[in-house]
A = this chain, B = another copy of it.
Amino acid sequence: MDDFIARPDGDLSWLVSRGEAAGDAGFTPFMESVDALLMGRSTYQAIADQDDWPYLGRPVHVLSSTLPADVDPRITVHRDVAAAVDVLSEAGHRRVYVDGGRTTRAFLEAGLITELTLSRVPVLIGQGAPLFGPLSADIELEHVRTEVLGGGMVQTTYRVLPRADATPESVARAV
């Protein structure tokens, strides 16, 4: 609820412990709708620590300047956003699920996010890794749908409106 997606040490138990009440939260149809995933190293490590690898066989790409390329056969490691975007584009992936705070912020700033789905868990944790952060200009959203899920989770999907100043060059600079 307060924009933090993990505790300062990366702990997600405040979220994972609510899994049963929330049910699938639309995750399966959402995963079926994407071609691939892209996340940052912190998000990858938080997920890799869980029992479950919930990505239905979709290719998982991870941004990291430090992880060894062969750290995990389930993932492909990229050293920066531009390299990841190149590989995803060349593979023909049109709809990529971008996850994690830093990665989402970089893609928002680059104008590469077209749709944003937020699932708000009814708890204030007070500190940790934020989802949102500084931007070079406002980003306008358009409400698409809101659903109240089990456990009081409120899930809203927005369309991200193009920024007035977005050009291919600004995207190239941003990544």
Which residues of chain A have a CB within 8 Å of any CB of chain B?
1-3, 14, 108, 118, 120, 122-127, 131-143, 146, 148, 152-154, 156, 158
A138–B158 touching, CB < 8 Å: no
B134–A126 touching, CB < 8 Å: yes
Contact of A133 among B118, B126, B146 (CB under 8 A): B126
Contacts of A125 in B (CB 8 A): 135, 138
Closest-by-CB residue of B relative to A2 is: B132
A143–B134 touching, CB < 8 Å: no
A143–B122 touching, CB < 8 Å: yes
Shortest A140–chain B CB gap in Å is 5
B146–A148 touching, CB < 8 Å: yes
Shortest A137–chain B CB gap in Å is 8
Contacts of A133 in B (CB 8 A): 2, 126
Q: With A123-B141, A124-B139 known to touch, is A3 a contact of B132 (CB < 8 Å)?
A: yes
A132–B1 touching, CB < 8 Å: yes
Cα-based distance from A155 to B156 in the complex (angstroms): 11
Q: With A1-B141, A3-B3, A141-B1 known to touch, is A158 a contact of B122 (CB < 8 Å)?
A: yes
Closest-by-CB residue of B relative to A131 is: B2
Contacts of A143 in B (CB 8 A): 122, 148, 152-154
B140–A123 touching, CB < 8 Å: yes
